[in-house]
Structures are given as C-alpha cells and as structure tokens.
Structure 1
Amino acid sequence: MRKLVIAAASVALAACSQSEPAAEATTEAAPAEPAPMATVANGSPAGAYEVTYPDGSVMTATLNDDGTYTDTDADGKVVEEGTWAVTGGKTCFTPTTEGGKPMCFTETPPAADGSFTATPDEGDPVMVKPKPAEATAM
C-alpha cells in the first residue's frame, strides 16, 4: 500500500511540474511491515499459556504465530503437537501426534491478568493463564 501511495504521489508531482526532471526510481525495497500477531478467538495473542484442568493437573500450551502448537506436561515432556486456527469463533486444535483428537474451544474474554476460561465442545472447561515471558524464554 505504501508503494502505491508513493508511486501515485510521484506521478501526480511529475504531471504538475513538467519543467522539473522526474526523480529516478530507487531499487531500494521499502521496509517490510511486521506480520500481524496471531490471536486466539477471544483476541489473546499467540504465546505460552498455563492450562489447568478441573482435576488440578497443569500443562503448558505454546501457540505459535505460524499456526502450530506444542503441549508439554509439568516435566516439560511434549505430549501433543499440531496446528491451531480460529474457526467459527472458536479456537480449534488439530493434533499431528498419533492418538490426538481435534478439539475446538469457546473462550471467555480475557481478565485483566490475561487469564480466561476455555470450554471444549465436549468436556469440562479449563483455566488458561499466560505464562510470564521469562518462563517461556529458552
């Protein structure tokens, strides 16, 4: 879009001032705009989340901007991997791990601390809380 506006302005300027020589086009590329950050259905950003199940067990779900995810248990062992996407207003996970079952979640709006409840289409709701950045750095 930026290139289109600059090109249109250059053409308009050249048309208005015929006596002025046209500026030479540069081959320098415009700086790339940052890719938009992926978000789950409730608008929370991709990242690492602590997920607490009704039985008290805890795991970490890491949702990446590229649409992939990894679930790890409390010991850091990968228990599931796959892809995630927002579909029909829900956050849906499609595992590539053998035996994994696709699931979609309806999420509450995030609280002030970023936490929210995610309710699967089948099963009990889970509590989801963003992990601090230092806890996710490797």
Structure 2
Amino acid sequence: MTFKLLPIVVLGALIAGCSNETNADTETPIEGSERASPAAYVMGPGRYAIEGGDGTVYSQTVVKPDGTYADLDGEGNEVGRGTWRDERGLACFDPDGDGPDQQERCWTNSALAEDGSFTSTRDDGSESYTIRPIGE
C-alpha cells in the first residue's frame, strides 16, 4: 500500500463567516485567510493519526517545529516527508520532489471536536479525513 501525504489537517467546509484578515506587521492579506474559519483548528508540531470515515488509520504524520513533516506507515517507517505551514486553519503540505503526487496540497481544518480530533478537507473538496492528535 502506498501512503500519500494526507495533508492533513484536514480541512473542512468552513467558508461561511470567513473574513479576509491581514498580517499586522505588513497589512497584507494572509494567504488562505478568506477560506479558513476563525474557529478552525490551527495545527502545530506534534504527531497526528490520519483516519478515514470508518475509523481506519491510514498513516501518521509527525509535524515538526522547524516547518518539516514526516509521514509514517503502520510500522512507523517513514514513507514521505516535506515542508508544512498552517495559517489560521489552512494547512499546506509540500512533499519533497517534483512528481505529480508531490505537489503542495492545502487543507481546511474544522474546529476541534470534544474528543480533540478535527476534520481536514482538501481545498478542492476531493478528500476529507479525521485527524487525531496522538502522543509520541
């Protein structure tokens, strides 16, 4: 089974009620801020399980403080890596390489659920996953 970066985070239909915010330092629009809800979960460093609608865990992603990430298979082997950024709930993952499956993908995150999980939906709406923060 090949694991693809499931740019997690995962990202939902949170367009309603969004405003185009600006960066206070430069007064320029924050990229994607018009799409992400103010309630969207902003990802940070940590380990996340990527789950399908039936609860199947597809992979884990380790998001690092230095702006990189690693995707792991079920045995903990690294199967992908690249860089990431999250701007107010719009999470973008750019896998290393330039192949057709290695292009940056952005995801809109929902607000956190009571159990700490959130939904991440690809910005084109084609994929959606439940993201669950997990311990190391």
Range of TM-score over shorter length:
0.5 to 0.7
Separation (CA, whole Å) in 2 of partners of 1:81 and 1:97: 9
CA contact 2:42–2:89 (8 Å) conserved in 1: no
SS of the equivalent of 1:65 reads: coil
The structure that has the greater radius of gyration is: 1
State the Cα distance separating 1:112 from its structure 2 match: 2.8
Separation (CA, whole Å) in 2 of partners of 1:93 and 1:44: 12
Q: Please list the CA deviations of residues 85-137 of structure 1 after superposition, one character each: whole Å capped at 9, or x if unmatched.
A: 124751100111563221100000112332000001232200100112xxx1x
1:45 corresponds to which residue?
44
What amino acid sits opposite 1:93 in the alignment?
F
Q: How does 1:68-87 map to 2 (within 5 A)?
A: 68-87=68-87
For the structure 1 residues 71 and 121, does the alpha-carbon distance in structure 2 shift closer, same or farther, using more than 3 Å as the test? same
Q: How does 1:1-138 map to 2 (within 5 A)?
A: 42-54=41-53, 56-87=56-87, 89-97=89-97, 99=99, 100-122=102-124, 123-132=126-135, 136=136
2:14 corresponds to which residue?
none
Q: Which has the higher contact order (CA 8 A, sep 6+)?
A: 2
Identity %: 33
CA contact 1:81–1:97 (8 Å) conserved in 2: no
Separation (CA, whole Å) in 2 of partners of 1:62 and 1:70: 5
What value does the CA root-mean-square deviation take over the aligned residues? Answer: 2.2
Separation (CA, whole Å) in 2 of partners of 1:70 and 1:121: 21
Aligned length: 93
Query: Structure 1: which 5+ residue stretches go unaligned?
Result: 1-40
By percentage of residues, which structure has more helix? 1
